[in-house]
Amino acid sequence: MTMFRALAALLLMLPAACQAGTPDVTKAASGLSVVPLSIRTAGGKTYSFKVEVARSESEQARGLMFRDKLAPNGGMIFPMNPPRPASFWMKNTVISLDLIFIRPDGTIARIAPEAVPYSLEPIDSGEPVSAVLELAGGRAAKLGISEGDKVRWTR
């Protein structure tokens, strides 16, 4: 009986042990993974976000199209491996967005603030980037986030 109790206790602890080493990743209603992301400003402030990860080509093509709202601390990140020049547009995007282009070292290369909904005008990174972060339009300015600030997220 003691052996049975020990085995039962071990089986009960197994799920927690398996999760202990996993990052804080959940799923959004869209089915995309949601991961923590932080931005540390040059002034030393750190802001935390929970962002959806658009990894596949089809997920990246859809992005935040057709969404009518975005939480203040929500967003979407588009990883680019290998790093490359990026170009986005706002076709079928209902809400204004800040597009934040992130260099391979994690620093912000460029911010395209308050992109105009439905615009077909290309928004370019200006240099090779390893990711693009989309936040609610005006959020970067409100928080004082600027070029050179450092972005970290669970890959």
Task: Tell me which of 14-18, 28-32, 74-78 is least confident.
Answer: 14-18
On average, the pLDDT of the chain sits at 85
Beta bridge pairs of residue 31: none
pLDDT of residue 66: 80
Q: Is the pLDDT of residue 104 over 70?
A: yes
Q: Give CB contacts under 8 A, 24+ apart, made by 26-30.
A: 28/52
Read off the pLDDT of residues 24-58 as tens digits, 9 standing for 90 and up. 567 766 778 999 999 999 999 999 999 999 998 88
User: Rounded to an integer, what distance in angstroms lies between the CA atom of residue 57 and that of residue 42?
Assistant: 33
Q: Is the pLDDT of residue 9 over 80?
A: no
Residue among 121, 126, 95, 130 nearest 110 (CA): 126
Q: Which domains does the chain have, with CATH numbers?
A: 23-153 (2.60.120.1140)
pLDDT of residue 117: 96
Task: Tell me which of 11-20, 67-76, 137-146 is least confident.
Answer: 11-20
pLDDT of residue 126: 96
Q: Name the burial class of residue 87, with classes exposed (0-12), middle (13-18) and buried (19+) by CB atoms within 10 angstroms of its CB.
A: exposed
- Predicted confidence band of residue 98 (pLDDT cuts 50, 70, 90): very high
pTM to 2 decimal places: 0.81
With H, G, I as helix, E, B as strand and everything else as coil, classify residue 31.
coil
